[in-house]
Chain A
Amino acid sequence: MLIVVSILLILSILSPLLYKIFKGITNWIITSVIITSLILFINYGKTIFSDDFLLESYEWFSSANINLEFYVDGLGFMFGIIVLGIGALIVLYSGYYLKGKEFTGRFYLYIVLFAASMFGLVISGNLIVMFVFWELTGISSFFLIGYYFYKEESRINAQQALLVTGFGGLALLAGFILIYLSAGTFSIKELLTKRELIVFTEIYPIILILILTGVFTKSAQVPFHFWLPNAMVAPAPISAYLHSATMVKAGIFLLMRLYPVMGDTNEWKYILSGFGIFTMLMGGFISVNQTDLKKILAYSTVSALGLMVTLMGISTQEAIQAAVVFLIAHALYKGSLFLIAGLVEHSADSRDINVLSGLYKTIPFLGIISFAAAASQSGVPLFFGFLGKELTYTSAIDTDFLKIFLPLMFLMANILMVCAALMAGVKPFIGEYEKEKVKISSFKYISPLILSFTGFAIFFIPGLLNNTIINPTVNAISGVETRIELSLWHGFNIPLLMSILTLAGGYYIYKYRNYFKLHIEDFLIFLTPSSVYHSMISGLKKIAFYQTRILQSGYLRNYLIVIFSFTLILMILPLLIGNKLAIFTGDLEIERYEIFLYSAIIISAIFVTVTKSRLSAIAALGVVGFGVAVIFIMHGAPDIAITQFAIEVLTVILFVIVLFKLPRFSNISKRKIKIRDTIFSVTAGVAVFFVLMLITNEKMRPLISDFYTENSWTLANGRNIVNVILVDFRAIDTFGEITVLAVAAFGIFALLKLTVINKKEEHK
């Protein structure tokens, strides 16, 4: 398994390079590599059929119980084949679709990265591994939706998809962690046997809501559906692959994967069918009110996803089977319809179904392919979609859950789906002939042709498909070993009657759709959190703006006051809380000679702050510096004192040299501000005083210094220990210091050489 994922990931990284070398035939190369990995994957099928599953495990973060595990059973097998099989066809098609477009190499990188991550997602055997792949699909989807990145609409919609599904991804991660806390494992294989540890815990509803948030955002359920139609700004093959055939089904996949662990409870049934029914009806209604080819398909995809969620909510063996069959059928016909829409747009320069008509006369072959796909979506007998629809009806009738209501909802959703199929798959090809004959390269037909007619062909071999794909999948989902026969003809019964009703109803609505203009979008605007999303985004920007304006005022004083205030609070709080001042016993003895020196320093420091003359300020500053140096001399630190003297002299000289280039001291601050600053700085000074008194109150044993005093002569042959520390023990630090000085010197040199044209002057 790992090898298949690795092949795809490497292929993804290499594909821009491949495009540089092979140009126009790159798609064939990538497609053949994907088909090779598909064959490799199918090869594992033997093991899966004999043992029911295949487990591959590599050590990863074993301390956190996270291993790189792959777990493939019937479900993973089916999804893996869909992902790689359709992926190969999509890449092939893309090569012709994107001919002459820029950034094709990048496109291949993203799409193969997506294929790799989607494939990894469906075969992952560990929740964390699954989460990583889940997020990777979202990221590659972001890049693919924003493929035409120079258009603002693309960027906005890509960001929207990323934020919405990313939000769901976070909820999903939280849900996974809660599952781990309840069941003690991330491993899917182990989780499958630990249902009672999750379903019967108090936090089960929380886990369910978190997981379903992830599912509903990814699989575009109301109220998170709005990103999917907006994602249609992506190129047609992306809409076909990510936004109808595979990625949006990741949510459905997760429902199926976790069904044995947390499905079939009352919460599960009602939440899923509630949201599912609402989504499939709303998606259906909106789709028949669209005129844009891709928007019709997008909303009918939303509707189909709602239908699958509802089926998973019913939680019977029959419903699961219906969901699986419908999922396969939908992947085939919807993928095909999107690809056809791309070709229609290319040849007729429009996606508006009111403009498109009579294309059958110019591109008849595409018409036939399109009719086949539309027939499958409508559920016309002899097409695979028919089976999906029959099973849907049967499962709705056979269950006691939401009796009568459920079949009626399905009937309504399916009628709308037929109408959408007629609008998107049939309408553009029939009617008046308008356009010149357009030549479409025959290669472009390959992918939609295969997708459409696979749906037609497998109708005749349901036994083979049932044994290899559908039954193992259903068994893997439900955990119950049963065989349901998949027959083409169930006889004259209620489902068949409903199917006929569906087709008739769909055609009726299609025919009179202009009278059915429900303006449902206006009505649903309250329910669509698209507006909520937009107000959240603009609200976030506003908050960012205001907090930036407050924090980034542009006034240095404000920044400094904030920094000093927090430091002061950190200094003063411990003093107050611990009542540390009470234990102060320290010596208060004062030597007479100290008083003169110290008062000289203090007076000079105060003089610096009040004087109006620059020269006297600098002179007073010198007094402070020399005073400090004298303190060092008196307390056994001649080295620092000498350094201080030297530096002080240099500083004063430097100041005096540039003094006359510097502005005079001016009193800019207001009196109020000055008083505030005085209070503030005196408080800081007092705090420092207390802290220092407390520090010196304790005796200190200089542990580190002992090392230096003992080894200075013996190891380093130096008698002046301060010097030895600087040039021997900590020589590298001193080297760093020299570097800093050198950099400062270079900086000063550069500044002196710098001549800047005064922009202010020019403006004046």
Chain B
Amino acid sequence: MYILISIVTGALFAAGIFMILRRSIVKLIIGLVLLSHAANLLIFTAGRMSMSQPPIIKEGAIFLNEPYADPLPQALILTAIVISFGLTAFAIILIKKTYLINKTEDLDELNTTDKIDKIG
């Protein structure tokens, strides 16, 4: 079952990287969202998947009985999802403001701070 999900992860990475390399700032955010999905899937898969029960201790039991899904990657991904939402939300608003102020969506026109005019 790993081969298909690895293909999906790879495809999401490829799509995400392609999108953040575009010059349009809107595509940049979409690329970021795709990349965060890809990263979550990567962690999830690398932590081993199983078609088994969720990591919840049954009523009356003290320990979790095998087989169960590993709870640790889940906790990590949960955090990552929320954080990446914060990032996406901030980026969307930032880009909206940037667009309204600069009237351009072309990233190549937003490079003036890094331009060096002369030696010295």
Chain A interface (Cβ within 8 Å of chain B)?
Answer: 541-542, 545, 548-549, 552-557, 560-561, 564, 586-591, 594-595, 598, 601-602, 605-606, 608-609, 614, 617-618, 621, 624-625, 628, 631-632, 634-640, 643-644, 647, 650-651, 654-655, 658, 661-663, 665-666, 668-669, 677-678, 680-682, 684-689, 692-693, 695-696, 700, 702, 704-705, 708-710, 712-714, 719-722, 725-726, 730, 733-734, 737, 740-741, 744-745, 747-748, 751-752, 754, 756, 758, 760
Contact = CB atoms under 8 A, between A and B. Distances in A.
Contacts of B81: 640, 643-644, 647
Interface in B34-91: 34, 37-38, 40-42, 44-59, 61-64, 68-72, 74-75, 77-79, 81-83, 85-90
A680 B37 contact: no
A635 B3 contact: no
Contacts of B51: 634-636
A543 B109 CA distance: 26
A635 B78 contact: no
A599 to B, nearest CB: 9
B74 A640 contact: yes
Contacts of A651: 33, 85, 88-89
A644 B120 CA distance: 51
19 contacts: A542-B119, A556-B107, A586-B3, A594-B4, A598-B7, A601-B8, A625-B37, A636-B49, A654-B88, A658-B92, A662-B96, A663-B24, A684-B13, A705-B70, A709-B55, A721-B56, A734-B79, A740-B83, A758-B103
B74 A722 contact: yes
Given A608-B30, A624-B37, A661-B99, A702 B57 contact: no
A760 B103 contact: yes
B10 A688 contact: yes
B89 A748 contact: yes
Contacts of A712: 57, 64
Nearest to A549: B116
Given A685-B10, A696-B2, A713-B62, A636 B55 contact: yes
A274 to B, nearest CB: 39
Contact of B97 (A595, A647, A751): A751
Given A557-B107, A640-B81, A692-B9, A635 B49 contact: yes
Interface residues of B, number: 99
B113 A554 contact: yes
A668 B119 contact: no
A760 B88 CA distance: 28
A658 B19 CA distance: 19
Mostly, the B contact residues are: helix
Q: Which 9 A-B pairs have the closest CB atoms?
A: A685-B14, A554-B111, A636-B69, A689-B10, A554-B114, A663-B105, A744-B86, A685-B10, A681-B18
A621 B37 CA distance: 10
Given A541-B120, A689-B6, A554 B15 contact: no
A601 B6 CA distance: 12
Contact of A700 (B48, B56, B107): B48
A719 B58 CA distance: 7
A587 B1 contact: yes
Contact of A720 (B13, B56, B62, B99): B56
A621 B68 CA distance: 31
B64 A709 contact: yes
A681 B14 contact: yes
B93 A658 contact: yes
**Which residue, of B12, B44, B59, B74, has the highest number of chain A Cβ atoms within 10 A?**
B74
Contacts of B9: 688-689, 692
A702 B72 contact: yes
A210 B113 CA distance: 44
Nearest to A591: B1
Contacts of A726: 75, 78-79
A682 B17 CA distance: 9
A594 B7 CA distance: 12
A175 B48 CA distance: 56
Given A651-B33, A666-B105, A685-B11, A708 B72 contact: yes
Contacts of B99: 661-663
